[in-house]
Amino acid sequence: MRSIFYLLESAPYGSEKAYGILNAAAVSIKMDATLGLYADGVYLALAGQKSCLLDVPNLSDILYAYPELRILAHEPSLAERGLMNRGLVERVELVDEEDFIRQALAADGLIAL
Amino acid sequence: MKTLTIILTDGPYISQYADMAYKIASRALNLFQVNIFLYLDAVHIPKSGQNPSQFKNTGLLFQELADRGAVVRACARCAAARGYRAEEDGSCPDYLPGIKITSLYDLAEMLEKSDRLIAL
Protein backbone atom coordinates (compact mmCIF):
# COMPACT_ATOMS: atom_id res chain seq x y z
CA MET A 1 0.00 0.00 0.00
CA ARG A 2 1.19 3.50 -0.75
CA SER A 3 -1.46 5.57 0.98
CA ILE A 4 -3.36 5.31 4.23
CA PHE A 5 -6.25 7.31 5.68
CA TYR A 6 -6.61 7.42 9.46
CA LEU A 7 -10.12 8.35 10.52
CA LEU A 8 -10.59 9.73 14.03
CA GLU A 9 -14.15 10.12 15.27
CA SER A 10 -13.40 10.35 19.01
CA ALA A 11 -12.57 13.44 21.04
CA PRO A 12 -8.85 13.98 21.67
CA TYR A 13 -8.87 13.60 25.45
CA GLY A 14 -10.67 11.10 27.67
CA SER A 15 -9.62 7.97 25.85
CA GLU A 16 -6.48 6.59 24.23
CA LYS A 17 -7.97 6.59 20.75
CA ALA A 18 -6.73 9.95 19.48
CA TYR A 19 -3.27 9.43 20.93
CA GLY A 20 -3.20 5.95 19.43
CA ILE A 21 -4.23 7.03 15.97
CA LEU A 22 -1.79 9.96 16.00
CA ASN A 23 1.08 7.64 16.89
CA ALA A 24 0.10 5.20 14.16
CA ALA A 25 -0.17 8.05 11.65
CA ALA A 26 3.20 9.46 12.73
CA VAL A 27 5.01 6.21 11.96
CA SER A 28 3.25 5.99 8.58
CA ILE A 29 4.61 9.20 7.10
CA LYS A 30 6.83 7.31 4.66
CA MET A 31 3.52 6.49 3.00
CA ASP A 32 1.03 9.09 1.81
CA ALA A 33 -0.67 9.43 5.21
CA THR A 34 -3.76 11.48 5.95
CA LEU A 35 -5.57 12.02 9.23
CA GLY A 36 -9.26 12.74 8.82
CA LEU A 37 -11.08 14.31 11.77
CA TYR A 38 -14.76 13.46 11.84
CA ALA A 39 -17.56 13.84 14.42
CA ASP A 40 -16.01 14.45 17.88
CA GLY A 41 -12.60 13.96 16.31
CA VAL A 42 -12.77 17.55 15.04
CA TYR A 43 -12.06 18.81 18.56
CA LEU A 44 -8.46 17.83 17.85
CA ALA A 45 -8.37 20.60 15.24
CA LEU A 46 -8.97 23.37 17.79
CA ALA A 47 -6.09 25.74 18.49
CA GLY A 48 -5.03 26.54 22.04
CA GLN A 49 -5.40 23.09 23.57
CA LYS A 50 -4.10 22.89 27.14
CA SER A 51 -3.80 19.37 28.47
CA CYS A 52 -1.46 20.01 31.40
CA LEU A 53 -4.25 19.70 33.97
CA LEU A 54 -5.12 16.29 32.54
CA ASP A 55 -1.48 15.21 32.81
CA VAL A 56 -1.49 13.90 29.25
CA PRO A 57 0.41 15.08 26.16
CA ASN A 58 -0.94 18.02 24.20
CA LEU A 59 -2.08 16.21 21.09
CA SER A 60 -2.07 19.30 18.91
CA ASP A 61 1.73 19.39 19.39
CA ILE A 62 1.86 16.08 17.52
CA LEU A 63 0.01 17.67 14.61
CA TYR A 64 2.74 20.31 14.38
CA ALA A 65 5.52 17.75 14.76
CA TYR A 66 4.70 15.83 11.59
CA PRO A 67 4.27 18.23 8.67
CA GLU A 68 4.31 15.26 6.29
CA LEU A 69 0.94 14.19 7.67
CA ARG A 70 -2.06 15.78 5.97
CA ILE A 71 -4.84 16.70 8.37
CA LEU A 72 -8.41 17.13 7.20
CA ALA A 73 -11.33 18.29 9.31
CA HIS A 74 -14.87 17.44 8.28
CA GLU A 75 -16.51 20.85 8.09
CA PRO A 76 -20.08 19.67 8.80
CA SER A 77 -18.87 18.08 12.05
CA LEU A 78 -17.35 21.39 13.11
CA ALA A 79 -20.56 23.24 12.20
CA GLU A 80 -22.76 20.74 14.07
CA ARG A 81 -20.70 21.38 17.20
CA GLY A 82 -20.73 25.18 16.90
CA LEU A 83 -17.00 25.32 16.25
CA MET A 84 -16.89 27.19 12.94
CA ASN A 85 -15.87 30.46 14.60
CA ARG A 86 -13.15 28.91 16.71
CA GLY A 87 -9.47 29.16 15.87
CA LEU A 88 -8.02 26.01 14.36
CA VAL A 89 -4.54 24.54 14.22
CA GLU A 90 -3.08 26.17 11.10
CA ARG A 91 -2.19 22.88 9.45
CA VAL A 92 -5.77 21.64 9.37
CA GLU A 93 -7.57 21.72 6.02
CA LEU A 94 -11.34 22.14 6.14
CA VAL A 95 -13.14 19.91 3.69
CA ASP A 96 -16.79 19.38 2.94
CA GLU A 97 -18.55 16.03 3.21
CA GLU A 98 -18.07 15.02 -0.39
CA ASP A 99 -14.37 15.84 -0.43
CA PHE A 100 -13.80 14.14 2.92
CA ILE A 101 -15.37 10.89 1.76
CA ARG A 102 -13.67 11.08 -1.63
CA GLN A 103 -10.25 11.39 0.00
CA ALA A 104 -10.97 8.61 2.49
CA LEU A 105 -11.96 6.26 -0.31
CA ALA A 106 -9.04 7.26 -2.50
CA ALA A 107 -6.51 5.88 -0.01
CA ASP A 108 -5.29 2.30 -0.37
CA GLY A 109 -6.23 1.59 3.26
CA LEU A 110 -8.47 3.08 5.94
CA ILE A 111 -8.08 2.74 9.69
CA ALA A 112 -10.83 4.15 11.90
CA LEU A 113 -10.75 4.73 15.63
CA MET B 1 1.47 -14.62 -2.26
CA LYS B 2 -0.31 -11.40 -1.40
CA THR B 3 -0.22 -9.95 2.08
CA LEU B 4 -3.16 -9.07 4.31
CA THR B 5 -2.72 -6.97 7.45
CA ILE B 6 -5.36 -7.01 10.17
CA ILE B 7 -5.32 -4.34 12.87
CA LEU B 8 -7.19 -4.89 16.10
CA THR B 9 -7.76 -2.36 18.86
CA ASP B 10 -10.13 -4.06 21.30
CA GLY B 11 -9.64 -6.84 23.80
CA PRO B 12 -11.19 -10.28 24.08
CA TYR B 13 -14.61 -11.29 25.51
CA ILE B 14 -16.23 -7.83 25.79
CA SER B 15 -17.67 -8.67 22.39
CA GLN B 16 -17.18 -11.22 19.60
CA TYR B 17 -14.75 -8.81 17.98
CA ALA B 18 -11.61 -10.92 18.45
CA ASP B 19 -13.54 -14.06 17.52
CA MET B 20 -14.54 -12.51 14.22
CA ALA B 21 -10.98 -11.41 13.56
CA TYR B 22 -9.81 -14.96 14.19
CA LYS B 23 -12.31 -16.37 11.69
CA ILE B 24 -11.29 -13.84 9.03
CA ALA B 25 -7.60 -14.46 9.60
CA SER B 26 -8.03 -18.22 9.69
CA ARG B 27 -9.76 -18.28 6.33
CA ALA B 28 -7.40 -15.69 4.88
CA LEU B 29 -4.37 -17.82 5.68
CA ASN B 30 -5.36 -20.03 2.75
CA LEU B 31 -4.88 -17.11 0.38
CA PHE B 32 -2.62 -14.54 2.01
CA GLN B 33 0.39 -14.03 4.15
CA VAL B 34 -1.46 -12.70 7.20
CA ASN B 35 -0.07 -10.08 9.55
CA ILE B 36 -2.00 -9.15 12.68
CA PHE B 37 -1.11 -6.05 14.64
CA LEU B 38 -2.55 -5.79 18.15
CA TYR B 39 -2.98 -2.16 19.15
CA LEU B 40 -4.41 -0.42 22.21
CA ASP B 41 -6.57 -2.86 24.25
CA ALA B 42 -6.01 -5.65 21.71
CA VAL B 43 -2.64 -6.30 23.38
CA HIS B 44 -4.62 -8.28 25.99
CA ILE B 45 -5.59 -10.90 23.39
CA PRO B 46 -2.45 -13.10 23.64
CA LYS B 47 -2.25 -13.14 27.44
CA SER B 48 -1.50 -16.64 28.66
CA GLY B 49 -3.65 -18.32 31.27
CA GLN B 50 -7.03 -17.20 29.97
CA ASN B 51 -9.74 -19.46 31.26
CA PRO B 52 -13.15 -18.40 29.96
CA SER B 53 -15.95 -20.64 31.14
CA GLN B 54 -18.43 -19.83 28.39
CA PHE B 55 -16.36 -18.84 25.38
CA LYS B 56 -13.52 -20.11 23.26
CA ASN B 57 -10.11 -19.19 24.62
CA THR B 58 -9.22 -16.20 22.43
CA GLY B 59 -5.54 -16.35 23.27
CA LEU B 60 -5.29 -19.93 22.06
CA LEU B 61 -7.11 -19.03 18.85
CA PHE B 62 -4.49 -16.40 18.07
CA GLN B 63 -1.68 -18.73 19.05
CA GLU B 64 -3.08 -21.18 16.52
CA LEU B 65 -2.94 -18.45 13.86
CA ALA B 66 0.71 -17.81 14.72
CA ASP B 67 1.42 -21.54 14.57
CA ARG B 68 -0.12 -21.63 11.09
CA GLY B 69 2.17 -18.84 9.87
CA ALA B 70 0.42 -15.60 10.73
CA VAL B 71 2.73 -12.90 12.05
CA VAL B 72 1.08 -11.65 15.24
CA ARG B 73 2.66 -8.62 16.89
CA ALA B 74 1.60 -6.35 19.75
CA CYS B 75 2.40 -2.66 20.15
CA ALA B 76 5.18 -2.09 22.68
CA ARG B 77 3.81 1.17 24.07
CA CYS B 78 0.30 -0.23 24.50
CA ALA B 79 1.66 -3.44 26.05
CA ALA B 80 3.91 -1.59 28.50
CA ALA B 81 1.01 0.62 29.56
CA ARG B 82 -0.98 -2.50 30.39
CA GLY B 83 1.79 -4.25 32.29
CA TYR B 84 3.21 -6.58 29.64
CA ARG B 85 6.99 -6.56 29.72
CA ALA B 86 8.89 -7.49 26.58
CA GLU B 87 12.18 -9.36 26.61
CA GLU B 88 14.94 -8.24 24.26
CA ASP B 89 13.76 -10.59 21.52
CA GLY B 90 10.19 -9.31 21.79
CA SER B 91 8.83 -12.32 23.60
CA CYS B 92 6.79 -11.70 26.70
CA PRO B 93 6.59 -13.96 29.76
CA ASP B 94 2.89 -13.17 30.08
CA TYR B 95 2.10 -13.96 26.45
CA LEU B 96 1.41 -17.20 24.66
CA PRO B 97 4.36 -18.46 22.58
CA GLY B 98 4.73 -17.21 19.02
CA ILE B 99 3.29 -13.76 19.63
CA LYS B 100 5.76 -10.94 20.16
CA ILE B 101 5.80 -7.36 21.34
CA THR B 102 7.26 -4.96 18.83
CA SER B 103 7.69 -1.34 17.86
CA LEU B 104 4.87 0.59 16.26
CA TYR B 105 7.24 1.06 13.31
CA ASP B 106 6.54 -2.59 12.49
CA LEU B 107 2.94 -1.60 11.86
CA ALA B 108 4.09 0.93 9.29
CA GLU B 109 6.25 -1.71 7.65
CA MET B 110 3.35 -4.18 7.61
CA LEU B 111 1.14 -1.57 5.98
CA GLU B 112 3.69 -0.70 3.33
CA LYS B 113 4.07 -4.35 2.37
CA SER B 114 0.36 -5.14 2.42
CA ASP B 115 -1.95 -5.63 -0.50
CA ARG B 116 -5.06 -5.61 1.68
CA LEU B 117 -5.92 -4.06 5.04
CA ILE B 118 -8.68 -4.88 7.49
CA ALA B 119 -8.96 -2.57 10.49
CA LEU B 120 -11.62 -3.79 12.90
The verdict on a CB contact (< 8 Å) between B107 and A24 is yes
How high is the ipTM of this complex?
0.90
Give per-residue pLDDT as tens, A9-55: 999 999 999 999 999 999 999 999 999 999 999 999 999 999 998 99
DSSP state of B85: P
Burial of A84 (0-12, 13-18, 19+ CB in 10 A): exposed
CA B115 to chain CA centroid, Å, is 18
Q: Which of B7, B78, B104 sits opposite A27 (nearest CB)?
A: B104
Please check whether residue B114 touches A, CB under 8 A: yes
User: Does B109 touch chain A if contact means CB atoms closer than 8 Å?
Assistant: no
* Residue spans per domain, chain A: 3-112
* Contact between chains at B112 and A108 (C-beta distance less than 8 A): no
How does pLDDT run across B62-120, given as a tens digit for each residue?
A: 999 999 999 999 999 999 999 999 999 999 999 999 999 999 999 999 999 999 999 99
- From the CA of B62, how many Å to the nearest CA of chain A? 21
- pTM beyond 0.90: the answer is yes
Distance from CA of B115 to the nearest CA of A (A): 6
Question: Can you tell me the distance from the alpha carbon of B64 to that of B97, in angstroms, rounded to the nearest whole number?
Answer: 10
Please enumerate in sequence order all residues whose Cβ is within 8 A of that of A66, keeping only pairs 6 or more positions apart, or say none: A25, A26, A29
CATH code, residues A3-112: 3.40.1260.10
Are the Cβ atoms of A24 and B104 closer than 8 angstroms? yes
**Total domains, chain B:** 1
CB contact under 8 A, A16 and B40: yes
CATH of the domain at B22: 3.40.1260.10
